[in-house]
Amino acid sequence: MSNNIKELLEQRLDKDNLKKLTAINNIKMHKFIADAIEFTRPASVFVCNDSDEDLLYIRNRAIESGEEKALAIDGHTCHFDGFYDQARDKANTKYLLAKGKDLGASLNSTDKEEGTKEVLGFLKDSMVGREMLVCFFCLGPANSEFSIACVQITDSPYVAHSECLLYRPGYEQFKSIGDSPDFFRFLHSEGELEALVSKNIEKRRVYIDLDENIVYSANTQYGGNTIGLKKLALRLAINKASREGWLAEHMFVMGVHGPKDRVTYFTGAFPSACGKTSTSMLPGQTIVGDDIAYLRKKGGEIRCVNVESGIFGIIRDVNADDDPVIYEALTNPGEIIFGNVLVTDDGKPHWLGMGCELPTEGTNYSGKWHKGKTDDKGNEISPSHKNARYTVRISDLSNRDENLNNPEGVPLGAIIYGGRDSDTLVPVEQAFDWTEGIVGKGAMLESETTAATLGAEGVRTFNIMSNMDFVSLPLGRYIQNNLDFAQGVDRPPLIFSVNYFLRDKDGKYLNGMLDKLVWVLWAELRVHGDVDAIETPTGLIPGYEDLAELFKRELNEDFTKENYAEQFAIRVPKLLAKIDRIEEIYKTKVPDTPQVVYDVFKTQRTRLNAAKEKLGEYISPFDL
Ligand code: SPV
Ligand code: MN
């Protein structure tokens, strides 16, 4: 260790914490911490070595600091983010780009020198009078080809506590990498607080340095902006994966349980708040992860892991009928953090769609709340926020998959891409092959915006592979990486699109919450060639009889021919308009679009026009 670093750490850490830190022999990590101490000037530094004692210390700090309040049920706490800090801030999340580097017009970036100066300006002296927490985590299972060691510095015990639930411990992993410089670094300060929430929201920044594998986050508390290992690390990982020939995706990983105890692993990419977690939690199936997956090729197959060990899930509409496993966990003792829900004086959390009448007063993200309370624009404040969340360990859930921590990952049988689409795509469709799947399903994905990011809701937006907010390389390169990924794979996974959000002409949803179980189980049968399918201009859809059987057996519902005809109608004008819209985006914004993308648009257009000639604009699946 260089003398300066050593001296500084010796001066600023007490004996115990110094011992914990120096037990990891990594100069680059020591320097990162020494620099951060010098820069943010905390009153004290705590180093977490993942012992039960240290984990308890962090949890207690979250409560003592007031960032979390203990609730009535043992192990439950609640945290509030500021009124204007309830979602990911896309506008202020930027890549720091050195002169001459370009990620393309679709990605938000800023000049590296200026941006670094700006964010460091906000972080300077930010921890004066506060405690700095230094935690180590591992992305992916420990001791595996997938593992990435990470160090998180934060002054928010809520952020540190959340990460202790959401990520695998990394202190030992860090020791095992020795002096390797190959790890991710996160520096977060919530900045000045007022009534326990970040005060200077106009100075909220999340700046990403891809060359250094560092993310800086300032003046914010909301998890998506602060929890380094979540979306901040995903942005770093996508870039790293591109350099190393694997994929980092915004995907769940689940075990789909087919006939005779057969388990087929699926990943699913959905934009935030579009049914990703609820798909991975479907009854009778097992969960590996609900948000982020790493995929690698090994021995002729694709294997994948959950990067995380917990769920930071949307709590809205979690109730005993629709999400029984999560509901059970949220209503029983266990370590859970509720975020931005409504809390009543008896210490009980309440949220939208929990399946009962909500109280008319309590405490929420606006402070003391009563029904009818309005914000400064006169809009009524909802009892709990639409993007209110819960944080829980997957190992505490009854439906955890037995391969949750398998260092080899699980073999991938199928990928599903889903978005919020009221009028175009059928509920489920298999792509003809890998290329049409990556282009026609993943790279054409659109979704209506939700409360998971700041800004207007319900606006149809291009969202490539559901990963648009996190892609950290030129989009054409990203598509090419996905296309190339199937090379050398003996049986590439099947690719499907799903759409849970179709509506009729009166705006009513055409599907029930659990219908997705049928789509997923049908896809599982397709992976094994157990059912036939009907060809459409854009892929393969289920036959009526097969769906009717699954609806009866799984949901005890009669799926009528009318339901089928309405949901699975091929809406040719809508599909053609979608191709036009997406093609325009690639032509104008993505100069490095691979030619094959345009080729797929062309063949799909030709097939759609031919079908229109023969069968009309809105084609019943019974006519195919
Ligand atoms: C998402 O918004 O996609 C999430 C939650 O999974 S966040 O941590 O905000 O990214
Ligand atoms: Mn997500």
What domains sit in the chain, N to C, each tagged with a CATH number? 3-67+88-245 (3.40.449.10), 248-309+402-560 (3.90.228.20), 312-396 (2.170.8.10)
Ligand 1: does its nearest atom lie under 6 Å from the Cβ of 272?
yes
Angle at which helices 515-527 and 544-555 cross, to 10°: 120
488 alpha carbon – ligand 2 mean position (Å) = 29
Residue 416 · residue 268 · CB < 8 Å: yes
Task: Please name the residue whose Cα sits nearest to atom 3 of ligand 1.
Answer: 272
Task: Please name the residue whose Cα sits nearest to atom 9 of ligand 1.
Answer: 224
Taking 50 as the pLDDT cut, the residues of the chain under it are none
Could you report the per-residue pLDDT of 309-345, keeping only the tens digit for each?
999 999 999 999 988 999 999 999 999 999 999 999 9
- Among the bound ligands, the one closest to the CA of 453: 1
DSSP states of 283-305 as a string? TT-EEEESS-EEEEEETTEEEEE
SS3 522: helix
pLDDT score for 3: 76
DSSP states of 132-194 as a string? EEEEEEEESSTTSTT-EEEEEEES-HHHHHHHHHHSEE-HHHHHHTTT----EEEEEE--SEE
Contacts (Cβ under 8 Å, ≥6 apart) of 1: 9, 22, 27, 30
398 alpha carbon – ligand 1 mean position (Å) = 23
Ligand 1: does its nearest atom lie under 6 Å from the Cβ of 276?
no
Distance CA 145, CA 589 (A): 35
Mutate-to-test residue for ligand 1 from 79, 220, 312, highest number of ligand atoms within 8 A of CB: 312
pLDDT score for 452: 82
Token code pair at residue 79:
């945290």
Atom of ligand 1 nearest to the CA of 389: 5
Ligand 1: does its nearest atom lie under 6 Å from the Cβ of 88?
yes
Distance CA 169, CA 163 (A): 9
Which backbone phi and psi does 500 adopt, to 5 degrees?
-90, 0
pLDDT score for 1: 60
Three-class SS string for 11-66? Answer: HHCCHHHHHHHHCCCCHHHHHHHHHHHHHHCCCEEEECCCCHHHHHHHHHHHHHCC
Q: Which of 572, 581, 577, 576 is nearest to 616 (CA)?
A: 572
Q: Considering Cα of 462, then 464, then 470, then 475, what sign does the dihedral take?
A: negative
Atom of ligand 1 nearest to the CA of 469: 3
Q: Which of 516, 487, 97, 59 is nearest to 266 (CA)?
A: 516
Residues annotated as part of the active site? 274
0.95 exceeded by pTM:
yes
Q: Considering Cα of 375, then 378, then 382, then 383, what sign does the dihedral take?
A: positive
284 alpha carbon – ligand 1 mean position (Å) = 25
pLDDT score for 81: 98
Distance CA 285, CA 323 (A): 12
Token code pair at residue 410:
């699980």
Written as one letter, the residue type at 325 is V
- Beta pairing partners, 95: 109, 208
Residue 306 · residue 253 · CB < 8 Å: yes
